[in-house]
A and B are shown apart, each in its own frame.
Chain A
Amino acid sequence: MQKEYVSFTKEMKKDYTILIPNMLPMHFTLISKLLNNYGIRNEVLFTKGQHIKETGLKYTHNDACYPAIIVIGQFIDALQSGKYDTHKVALMMFQTGGGCRASNYINLIRKALKRAGFGYVPVISFSFAGLEKHPGFKLTLPILHRMMYAVFYGDLLMLLRNQCRSYEINAGESEALAQKWTNRLVEEMEKDRVSYKRVKKNYKLIIEDFNKILRKDEKRVKVGVVGEIYVKYSPLANNDLENFLVSEGAEVTVPGLLDFMLYCVYNSIADYKLYGRGKVKYLGIKLIYKFLLHKQMDLINIIKENSDFEPPTYFDHTVTLIKGYIGIGTKMGEGWLLTAEMLELAEKGVPNIVCTQPFGCLPNHICGKGMMRPIKEKNPNINIVAIDYDAGATEVNQENRIKLMLANSKDVD
C-alpha cells in the first residue's frame, strides 16, 4: 500500500512539458520526437556537469543507487534552472519494477522533489509492468509500435557507429552520419504510417551509408561494455566511458537496448516456468517474445546480407550462454543478462570487458562480480575489469583501472 501521488491529468496534457532524463542519446531523441508527434509534449534532459551529482546528493539519501542520485540531481537541477515554469512540467522515469531497489526510484524522486519544494510536480513512471495510473499519459498501441522501431533504429545506429568510429579516416564522420540518420528518422516518423517494409528498407540504407565510410585497415583492441543499464549507457553516469575507450584506441561494443527489453519480457516467461506464476500473462508474453525475436532476426539478416559488420547476437542464443554459470531465475536488476552479455562478448571475440556498476549495486554482487571467477575459469583469455561508479568516486581511479585492463589486452593479442 502506498500513499497518494500527484497524477498526470488529462488537463495537464494540454500544456505541460514532460522532462525525461537522457540515457542513450540516439534512442531517446527518437522516442522523444515520436511522443511529441502524438501530442505528448516532452523534452530530453541532456544537461551534464558535477553540479548535477551534487544536487542529487543534497536531496536524496547518499546511500541510494548512483543512478537515482544522478537522475534526481538532473531533474531538480532542471526545475531550479529557471528555464521551465515548474507548474507546467512533469517528470518521467523509465523503470522496470522487480525485487531490486531500483523499483523505488519513483518514490525516491517524489521524496526528493518534496524536500526541494517541488512536491506538486507530477512524476510519471513509464513501465510495462503498469505500476501506476496517470490519466493524461496513455501509450496507445501505435505509439508503442513506433517506440519499438525507435529502439531497433537506435541499436542499429549505435552498433554501426561503434564499429566505424575507431577506424574512420575522416574524424567525426561516423558520429555525424549517426546524427544525420537520427534526424532523418525523426522526420520520417512525423509522417503517419509506419510500414515494416519501410523500416527494413531504412535498415539497409543505414547499413549502406555506414559502409561508405572510409576506414583504416588496422587492428584495434576490442572492448565490450556491460553492466547496470543506466551506468552502462549514460555518459553522465559513466564519465563518458565510450569516448574514453575510443580515445585510448579501442573499438567499443555495447550490447543494445533491445536485449534488455527482451530480458524483461523473458523474465515473465521464467516466472511461469520456474514458479508457475501468471499463466495467462505467460501466454501473451510468449507471443511478444517470439514477435520481438523475429524482428531481431530480420535485422541480423539484413546486416549480414549487406555488410561485413558484426550483427547483434540473436537473443535466443544469448539466453543459452548462461548454462553452467547462473540460473535463469536471477532476474533482479540486470540479473542473468549481465552474465550472458559477458559470455556473448567473449564468444564474439571481444575478450576485454568493462563491467560497470553503481557502487554497492546489489544484483551486481552476484551476476557481475560474483560471476567473474567462473567466467575466467572457463574462458582463460577473457580480461574483465569491474568499475564502480559513484558520486564520490574519481575518474583517475577508474581510468587507471581501465588502463590496466587495456594494457593487459595488448598482451593477449
Chain B
Amino acid sequence: MTEKIKRYTLGIDIGSTTVKTVLCGDGEIIYSKYRRHFSKVREVALEMLEEIHPIIGDKTFTVALSGSAGLGLAESAGLPFVQEVFATGETVKRLAPDTSVVIELGGEDAKIIFLQGGTDERMNGSCAGGTGAFIDQMATLLDMSVDEMDKASLSHKRIYPIASRCGVFAKTDVQPLLNQGATKADVAASIYQAVVNQTVAGLAQGRKISGKVLFLGGPLFYCHGLRERFKETLKLSDEEAVFPEYALISVALGAAIYAEKLNEEIGFSELCDKIRSSIGSSVGANRLPALFEDDADYDAFRERHARACVSEVDVSSYSGNAYLGIDCGSTTTKMVLLSENKEILYSYYDSNKGNPASIVREQLLHIYGLMGDRIKLCGSAVTGYGEELIKNAFGVDIGVVETIAHYTAAKHFMPEVDFILDIGGQDIKCFRIRNGAIDGIMLNEACSSGCGSFIETFARSMGYGIDEFAKKGLWSKAPVNLGSRCTVFMNSSVKQSQRDGATVEDISAGLSVSVVKNAIYKVIRAGSPDELGKNIVVQGGTFYNDAVLRAFERELGRDVVRPTIAGLMGAYGAALYSMKLEKSEILDASALESFEHTSKTAICHGCQNNCHLTVNVFSGGKKFISGNRCEKGLGLGAELEKLPNLHHFKRSYLTKIESKAVCEYPEATRGTVGLPLALGMYELLPLWYGIFRSLGFAVKISPMSSKATYEKGQFTIPSDTACYPAKLMHGHIEELIEMGVDAIFYPCITYNIDEGDTDNHYNCPVVAYYSELLGGNMDSLKKASFIYPYLNINKKKELVKELLGVFDLYFANRAITKQEIKRAVDNGFTEYNAYMDAVKREGEAAVKWARERGKRIMILAGRPYHIDSEVGHGIDKLANSLGFVVVSEDSVFHLAEPVTVNVLNQWTYHARLYRAARFARENSDVELVQLVSFGCGVDAITTDEVRSILEDGGKFYTQIKIDEITNLGAVRIRLRSLMGALEQ
C-alpha cells in the first residue's frame, strides 16, 4: 500500500517525559508510537526513528518537531519546530472540527484551546504544577502505582478539598488527610478533583467550557478517574466529553500535519545524522563542579561520617532497663529502644503507609517479644506529627515537641552543637541554639519544599530507585545548576538541562545541590555559611544521601556531623528524653493484643471554621479527635473560650456592625448597597457603613469567607499568583450579587488613613486597586452597579466632594445633597473611630487580663484582613487553645513608640506591624507571630524588618505563611515549639 503514497510527513513530539512519533502518508496515519524517554531524549528519539525505517525506506519526507524538549533538539539539529499547542490545534481542526474546547494535560504542562467564538490557546503559567508529574508525585505519596491510584479513585465516597494551585500545596493537604485516616480511594479522587479545579480555574479563567470537549494527553488517556472528575465538574454528557484514541499522540500528529506545509524534504539517514550530531553538542554552560574528585576523596568522606555513630547492643543478650522513643512523622514512623547506657537495642524506620497507629502497635508487640522478661521498659516518649494520636492510643508516657526531641539527640553527638538542620521527606526544619536553649526555629513554608520526597519522586519518574539515583549523582562530572526555588521550577529547570544534553548523573547531582541551596538560602535565609553556626549537626532521612550531604558541606565550606542514625534522631531524642522516668504506663502486650482502632470523619459545626475532624476510637471506647483548630469540637471548650482573643472580637464587631453602630440612622429607603468583607473592607467597613446608612441606604455585608466563598469566585481569577485574601474577593462579590443588592461598593484607596508616624501611608497595590481587576473580569458584576471611585479618605472636605460626584453618577435619581453627604461622612468617621478605639481598648484590656493571671500574650500580627476565618484558618483559636491571650497588631501598636526602621515605612498597615513588634520586644510576656500571605510581595520586606526588630531585643520571630492550605499540624508544631523554647 505504501507504494501508492505520494507524500510522507513525520511528526515527532518530545515532551518532558515521553517521545511520540507519527508518520503520515498523504494525510493518513500509517504509524505511531508512544514511549517514555527517562531523560535520554535524543537516544530514545533515534531508537524510535529506527522503527520507522522499514516503512519509509529511502523515500524522502518532511518533518516537524514539537514539545518542550523537542524545542532544544530542533534548534541544535536545525530541524523545523512547531509549538505544541498550535500543533494540537492542527490535529483537532482536521480530525474533530466540530470541537468547542480542547483540554490537554501533559507531563508538566496543561493547555486549553477554545475553538469557537474566537480561538484562544492557553498554557498554564510558571507556577502551576497540577499535571502528569503531579499525579505521579501524588501516587508516590499514596504508595501506589498510577494505575492502582486510578482504580482506587473510582470507588470513592467523598471528595476532600485539596489546594488546587500547585503540587507542593496539594501535598501539604494530602499528607494530613492520610495521617488522619482518610481512605486512599477518597484521597485519590480528591487529587483528581484538584487537577480538574486547577485546569478549570487556572486556564479557563472565567471562559465557559461547554459544547463538545476533547480531552487529550497521557494523564487523560490513562486515568479514568480523572476523566470522570472532568465530566462531572463540567457537567458534560457522554456525547459532549470526547476521549479520542489519538489522545496520546495528538501533538505528534499535529506536527505531522504541520509538516505538510513544509517544502524541505529530508531522507531517513540524513534526519538521523542531524539528530545524532546534535548529541552532546551543546553542553550548557550552567554547570557546577563535581561533588567528588575521585574514589579516594569519596572514601575519606565516608570514613569521616561513619565516626558519628551510636553503639548498638544485641537485644537478645541484654538485660536491664530500657527506654522507648517513637517519632511519628508525616510520612514515616521511627522507633528506637535504648539501653541504660544509651545504646541502641532496637530501631525501626519505615513509611507509615498512611496508618501509623497499626504500625506502632505491630512494632510494640515485636519489641515486647524481643524484651522478654530480661528487659524492663522504664519510660516512653513520642514526638512528631502524630504525637497526640499515638500518645492517646497507646498511653505513651510523654509527648515531646519535635524541636526538643531533635535537640536532645543532636547534643548527644555534639555537646556544643549550635545549629541543627533536618531535611525529611516533607519538611525542612532548622534550629539555632544559643546558651543551651533553642533560640530560633525555621521551617520550610509550603512553597519551597524541595525536600527528600521530591528527589525520590524524581528518581522514580526517571525510572530509578532512590538509592541508585543518588549514587549516580556522586560521580557526575558536571552537575547541572537547577536554582534554588520550588519544585515546579526545578521541574522546568530539569527540562531545560535535558535540552542542553545533561545526563542522569548530572541531574541527580544537580537536584542534591538544589535541595541544599533551597535549605540554606530559602529556608534558613543565610547570607553566608558562617551565619549558620560553627558546630552543625545534620539529620533527617534525606541526609543519608551522600550527594546531598557532600553538597551541603561544599556550600558551607565546612565539615558537619551526620550521625549514622540521621533518620532516627527524633525517636532517639525522645528515648533519651524518657530516661528521666522510672516506670512506663504504656499499654502492655495483652492490651495491645486486643487493641482496636477505627477512625471516621466528621465536620465540627461549632463555629465558622467547620473543621474536618477525624474521630479515632480505640479499644475501650477511648476517643481521640484530630483536625480541630480549637477545643470546641472536643466538647470541653468552655474554659478556653474565656481567653481574650482580639481576632474574635474584631470579627464579631464587624459582622454585627448594625448592633454596634454609635450613630442614629434613618430608615433605609434609597436602595441596598453591598460591601464585600475582604481586603481593605476589614479596616474601613465602619466608615462606609456609616456613610451609606446615613444616606438612607440599606447595607448588606457579605458573610465571613469560607472555602465555599473561594470556590464560588475561583473561575474569574486572572492571576493565579495573587494572594489568597485577594482571590477571596471574587467569591464575596458573587455572594453579594446572590443577596440581591443594587450596588456593590469597594473604592480604590491609594492612600490609606494617615496615622502620622510614617514616611507615607499607602495601601498595597492589591488592596488599593483590586476593584479595577474585578470590574474587568467578573461578568456577574453587570447585575449590579459596581462602584469603585478613587477616594481620598484623609480629608473630609475632599471626600465629600468626591462622593458627591459618585452619587451624582450612580444615584442621580435619589437627589442626594451635599449637606447630606457631609453629615454622612461625619457619621462614617464617628463609626470608624469608635471601632478603632474599641479595638485599642479591648487590646489594653486583654493585656491587663493576661498580666493579672500571668498568661502569655501573643500578637497574632498581619493585616486587618488576616482576621478572616478562612484567611487566618482559625490560627487565633489554636493559639488560644495553647494558652495564649491573642491580640492583633492594631489593638496594641499604640502601646509602643514609633519605630525607626531600615526600610521605607510607607504603608499604614505595616507601620502598625513594626510598632506592635516593638511592643513585643519591650515586654517579656508578649510574643509576636506574623501571619504572611503567600504571594504577598510587600511581606518580603516586612518579614525581615519585623524579624530584626524582635531579634534585636532577643525575642523569637515566628512566621506563619498562609494560603488556601490548612495544614494546621505544621502550625501547631511551630507554635508549640515556640512555647517549648519560651519555657526553656
Contacts and interface: CB of A to CB of B under 8 A. Distances in A.
Given A62-B484, A370-B773, A103 B766 contact: no
Interface stretch (B192-200, B491-499, B808-816): B491-499
B901 to A, nearest CB: 6
Given A359-B127, A396-B496, A403 B71 contact: yes
Contacts of B386: none
Interface string B884-899: 0000000000000011
A331 B750 contact: yes
Interface centre among B68, B493, B748, B769 (most CB of A within 10 A): B769
Contacts of B750: 99, 275, 329, 331-332
Contacts of A388: 125-127, 721
B907 A99 contact: yes
Interface centre among A274, A372, A390 (most CB of B within 10 A): A274
Interface centre among A2, A371, A394 (most CB of B within 10 A): A394
Contacts of A325: 776
A206 interface: no
Contacts of B937: 63-65, 101, 360-362
Interface centre among A98, A380, A404 (most CB of B within 10 A): A404
Interface size class of B (residues with CB under 8 A): 35 or more
Nearest to B447: A63
Contact of B773 (A57, A277, A366, A395): A366
A392 B765 contact: no
A362 B898 contact: no
Contacts of A359: 126-127, 721
Contacts of A395: 496
Interface in B788-846: 788, 790-792, 795, 797-798, 801-802
Interface in A357-381: 359-367, 369-374, 376, 380
B627 interface: no
B535 interface: no
Interface size class of A (residues with CB under 8 A): 35 or more
A281 B722 CA distance: 34
Interface in B516-554: 521-522, 525, 527-528
A12 interface: no
A391 interface: yes
Interface in A91-118: 98-101, 103-104, 106-108, 110-112, 115-116
Contacts of A391: 483, 485
A366 B772 contact: yes
B259 to A, nearest CB: 14
A386 interface: yes
Interface string B697-729: 000000000000000000000110110001000
Interface in B262-317: 285-286
A365 B773 contact: yes
A103 B802 CA distance: 28
Interface stretch (B29-37, B356-364, B588-596, B940-948): B940-948
B495 A394 contact: yes
* Dominant SS among interface residues on chain A: helix
A64 B940 contact: yes
Given A373-B206, A393-B492, A386 B527 contact: no
Contact of B489 (A330, A390, A411): A390
Contacts of A329: 748, 750, 769, 790
Interface string B954-970: 00000000000000000
Nearest to A403: B83
B465 to A, nearest CB: 27
A374 B903 contact: no
A74 B906 CA distance: 27
A292 interface: no
A99 B908 CA distance: 11
Given A274-B790, A327-B790, A394-B492, A101 B938 contact: yes
A408 B528 CA distance: 47
B121 interface: yes
B766 A275 contact: no
A272 to B, nearest CB: 11
A29 B252 CA distance: 48
A87 B588 CA distance: 72
A2 B772 contact: no
Nearest to B120: A376
B777 A111 contact: no
Interface string A214-246: 000000000000000000000000000000000
8 contacts: A2-B903, A98-B762, A101-B941, A370-B719, A392-B486, A392-B489, A397-B68, A408-B86
Given A3-B901, A362-B765, A395-B496, 9 more contacts: A1-B905, A64-B941, A98-B762, A107-B904, A275-B795, A392-B483, A393-B492, A396-B72, A407-B83
The 7 closest A-B pairs by CB, nearest first: A392-B485, A370-B773, A99-B762, A275-B792, A329-B790, A407-B86, A115-B527
